């Protein structure tokens, strides 16, 4: 079993045991734009191949194990604030972003993960309260 396949299997099995869904970005547009580059270097080719392989295995393993999978729009996931107002964040050093008004600051990857989670939960009809608790969107307020 290659590394992508083993990793995807572990992700699906863990998600199933925890009764979680899997959420990921739809990076099809990014992959297609990388494929259109005429003079691709070896690194670009490896990125395309590795990401495409991992995505296919994760999707397949999720389906095989009956784990729900949500594919979200990648637009602004790593530059938008993960709080309710979704205002754009400002650069605060290498790979760090912050929101001056509330002093929120984090790494771009952490912000992206929080936004992917927020979008996937919204797709499932679930929202996070201001204190981080999960509530159904149809629940009385």
Mean pLDDT, the chain, whole residue set: 81
Structure tokens at 29: 């547009």
pTM of the model: 0.73
What's residue 140's pLDDT? 47
Percent over 70 (pLDDT), the chain:
78
What's residue 2's pLDDT? 87
Place of tokens 């994760």: 58
Stretch 113-122: mean pLDDT: 88
Burial class (CB in 10 A: 0-12, 13-18, 19+), 134: exposed
Question: Per-residue pLDDT tens for 88-108?
Answer: 787 888 888 887 777 778 888
What 3-state DSSP class applies to 104?
strand
Stretch 39-62: mean pLDDT: 80
Structure tokens at 35: 């494929």
């Amino acid at each position: 079993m290659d590394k992508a396949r083993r990793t995807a299997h572990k992700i699906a099995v863990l998600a199933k045991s925890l009764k979680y869904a899997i959420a990921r970005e739809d990076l099809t547009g990014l992959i297609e734009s990388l494929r259109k580059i005429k003079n691709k270097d070896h690194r670009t080719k490896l990125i395309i191949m590795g990401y495409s392989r991992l995505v296919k295995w994760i999707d397949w393993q999720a389906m095989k194990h009956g784990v729900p999978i949500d594919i979200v729009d990648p637009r602004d996931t790593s530059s938008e604030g993960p709080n309710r107002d979704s205002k754009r964040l400002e650069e605060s050093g290498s790979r760090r972003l912050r929101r001056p008004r509330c002093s929120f600051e984090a790494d771009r990857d952490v912000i992206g993960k929080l936004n992917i989670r927020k979008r996937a939960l919204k797709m499932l009809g679930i929202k996070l309260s201001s204190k981080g608790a999960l509530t159904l969107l149809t629940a009385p307020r």
